[in-house]
Amino acid sequence: MRPLDEKETTQVFEKLFKFTGPNLKHLLERPAVEGPDAEPGRYCLRLNRNRVYYASEALVRRATAVSRPRLAGVGTPIGKFTHHGAFHLTVHALDLLAAHARRRVWLKPDTERSFLFGNSVPKSSLARITENTKVGDGVVVMSMADVPLGFGIAARSAQDCRKADTNAVVVLHQADAGEYLRKEEELM
């Protein structure tokens, strides 16, 4: 386990920024809510084997007591670095992103299943979309009951969505809750 170096931190922040925008500051500087201490401190990012974890300072301090080969993880995993050094957000970050993301997309009830199987969101599944979504923004996909299903990147802006074809892709799939079943071995 080690802190991220500058290059790695920049990569992680940039990926998170696509979803949260200026809320990223809040994400990183909010007082922690987990841990047994009275003042758990802030949240920090730690790297263990190629995964990045989001944990409170109290938790990190306690995790130093576990030997390195035996440490499986600390706090919430948010993503991983690939073999060649690119950073990808994984589905474990869903709770965090759903709480802090700026743009959301709501799916119609019948079409949720398609997204949970790993497909991108066509316009026909779209029930609502945040008004000022731009192309390339990170978007959290929710069901009509406000349950976060996954996240992705907006392929069209909110205005373009209205004019688009019914089969046009609106949100490019990045991760969904169905991966916990489909990719069980890979995620753990």
Partner 1 sequence: MAEVPALVAAASSCEVDLGNLIAYDPSYHVAAAAAAAASREELRQECLRKGTELAQAVADALFALPPSEDGDGPIVHLPPPTVRLPREKHLPKPKPPTKWELFAKAKGITKRKKNKREWDEQTQSWKRTYGYDRVNDDKDIAIVEAKLTDEPGVDPFAQRRDEKKKRVEKQEKNRLENLKKAAKIGALPSHIQLAAKALPIKGTKADLPKKSRKEDLESVVGMASSATASGGKFDEKLLGEKPPKHPGKHRKFLPVAEGKGMGSLEKQQNDKILNSLLARNSDEPLDVGKASFRIQLLK
- Binding stretches for partner 1 (CB under 8 A): 1-3, 5-6, 9-10, 13-14, 17, 21-22, 24-25, 28, 41-42, 44, 46, 56-58, 60-61, 64, 131-132
What minimum distance in Å lies between the beta carbon of 82 and partner 1?
19
What minimum distance in Å lies between the beta carbon of 92 and partner 1?
21
Question: DSSP labels for the chain?
Answer: -EE--HHHHHHHHHHHHHHHGGGHHHHHHSPP--SSSSS---EEEEEETTEEEEEEHHHHHHHTTS-GGG----SEEEEEE-TTS-EEE-GGGHHHHHHH-S-EEEE-GGGHHHHHTT--EEGGGEEEE-TT--TT-EEEEE-TTS-EEEEEEESS-HHHHHHS-TTSEEEEEEEETTHHHHTHHHH-
Q: Which is nearer to partner 1, 32 or 91 (CB)?
A: 32
What minimum distance in Å lies between the beta carbon of 122 and partner 1?
26
Q: Which is nearer to partner 1, 68 or 88 (CB)?
A: 68
Q: Which is nearer to partner 1, 28 or 168 (CB)?
A: 28
Q: Which is nearer to partner 1, 46 or 156 (CB)?
A: 46
What minimum distance in Å lies between the beta carbon of 67 and partner 1?
13
